[in-house]
């Protein structure tokens, strides 16, 4: 785990923490300009409870790193345009109290302020931000370690599952073969039932024809009886 001294001395370690701008408001509220993006040197000094001179000196020493993390220096027409935008966003309220830089203006983003928090030695607020960053990183490392242990347990379980599946494989093959056999027997039974159904249809037709013949034979017998009766009367 990196230490506070390492964070102060190592630009690479600071770069790893630059995405954690959320810690600024967790330590202390950072009041932004009306655009919601920038703060001035005096706003940064007020946040860290140090002098504006201390912020300016630190900015001069680490200007290249801070520029990479959002620091802007406005001059001339760009500065005048920014002042007009701020006055417009303020909507008339507090315009008189809004200080306008005469020649240049340094603007800091939240990312730049976090960068300063990892560079500023003589500020209790900056120390709190660094402590919060390091504690959060340690908590994250602990979570990763716990996750790694859980993944290891899952992998060991999967190993057991693999062996069980290997043992279950032959059983599943035999069950599949038995099911295939049952399917074949069911198909044969279906064919037999179909043939019996056709045969029964033929038998039904034969019975119908036999009934017709019996009815005809019965009619013939009645006719013979009537004839015999007439002869006897004569």
Q: What is the pLDDT of residues 39-94, one digit of tens each?
A: 999 999 999 999 999 999 999 999 999 999 999 999 999 999 998 888 888 765 55
Is the pLDDT at 161 greater than 80, yes or no? Answer: no
- CB-CB contact of 13 with 103 (8 Å): no
The per-residue pLDDT for 37 is 93
The confidence score (pLDDT) of residue 60 equals: 96
- Residue 107 has a pLDDT of 96
pLDDT digits (tens, 9 = 90+) for 172-190: 778 878 888 777 887 877 7
- Mean pLDDT across the chain, nearest whole number? 81
DSSP assignment, residue 39? Answer: B
At 144 the pLDDT is 44
Reported confidence tier of residue 1, pLDDT bands at 50, 70, 90: low
- Tell me what pLDDT residue 20 has: 92
Q: Does the pLDDT value for residue 145 go beyond 50?
A: no
> Worst-scoring range by mean pLDDT, 103-117, 143-157, 207-221?
143-157
Query: ∠221-227-233 over CA atoms, to 5°?
Result: 140
- Identify the weakest region by mean pLDDT among 109-113, 129-133, 170-174: 170-174
Within its chain, how far is the Cα of 6 from the centroid?
35
Pair 114, 20: CB distance under 8 Å: yes
User: Of 24, 19, 226, which Cα lies nearest the Cα of 132?
Assistant: 24
């Amino acid at each position: 785990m990196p230490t506070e001294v390492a964070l102060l001395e190592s630009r690479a370690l600071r770069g790893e923490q630059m995405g954690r701008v959320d810690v600024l408001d967790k330590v202390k509220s950072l009041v932004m300009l009306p655009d919601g993006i920038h703060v001035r040197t005096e706003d940064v000094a007020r946040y860290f409870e140090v002098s504006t001179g201390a912020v300016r000196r630190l900015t001069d020493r680490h200007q290249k790193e801070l520029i990479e993390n959002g620091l802007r220096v406005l001059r001339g027409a760009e500065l005048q345009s920014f002042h007009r935008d701020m006055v417009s966003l303020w909507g008339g309220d507090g315009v008189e109290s809004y200080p306008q830089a005469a020649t240049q203006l340094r603007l800091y983003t939240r990312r730049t302020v976090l960068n300063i928090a990892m560079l500023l030695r003589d500020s209790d607020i900056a120390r709190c931000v660094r402590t919060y960053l390091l504690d959060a990183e340690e908590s994250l490392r602990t979570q990763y370690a716990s996750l790694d242990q859980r993944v290891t347990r899952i992998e060991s379980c999967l190993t057991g599952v693999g062996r069980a599946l290997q043992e279950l494989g032959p059983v599943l093959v035999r069950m599949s073969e038995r099911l295939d056999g049952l399917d074949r027997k069911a198909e044969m039974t279906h064919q037999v039932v179909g043939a019996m159904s056709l045969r029964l249809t033929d038998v039904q037709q034969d019975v119908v024809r036999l009934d017709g013949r019996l009815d005809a034979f019965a009619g013939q017998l009645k006719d013979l009886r009537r004839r015999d009766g007439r002869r006897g009367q004569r």
